Chains A and B, each alone.
Chain A
């Protein structure tokens, strides 16, 4: 069993 963390979007950045 793996440790659990809350699923989330952790980062966003502009591609350009």
Chain B
């Protein structure tokens, strides 16, 4: 079953913020705590960092976990084992929050 976002969640990519973060990333700055995607669920606003936002945007129900992994490993400089562990942890976190589901 492919991952898909909870349709009740309002979200968007903050384009200007994302551009700033990408530029900072290229300069080698630590952007791990910078949010580039905002989402609103149950009266709370949450932010995802750039990699989290990329994963979130890809979870449209059309991709298997393997496809997600392949896309991310092609986009980012990261060891496969590290990415696999982080991806699993992130997906579990968002699934527990009921932001993502298997559809």
Which residues of B are interface residues toward A (Cβ below 8 A)?
Answer: 22, 25-26, 28, 30-35, 40, 43-52, 54-55, 75-78, 82-83, 86-87, 90, 93-94
C-alpha spacing A10/B25, complex, angstroms: 16
Please judge, given known A-B contacts A9-B93, A14-B43, whether A4 and B48 are in contact too, CB under 8 Å: no
Decide yes or no: A10 and B43 within 8 Å by CB, A2-B75, A4-B78 being known contacts. no
Number of interface residues of A (CB under 8 A): 16
Bound together, the chains give a CA A5 to CA B54 distance in angstroms of: 12
Cβ contact within 8 Å between A15 and B77: no
B40 nearest CB neighbor, chain A only:
A15
A13 to B47, CA, bound (A): 9
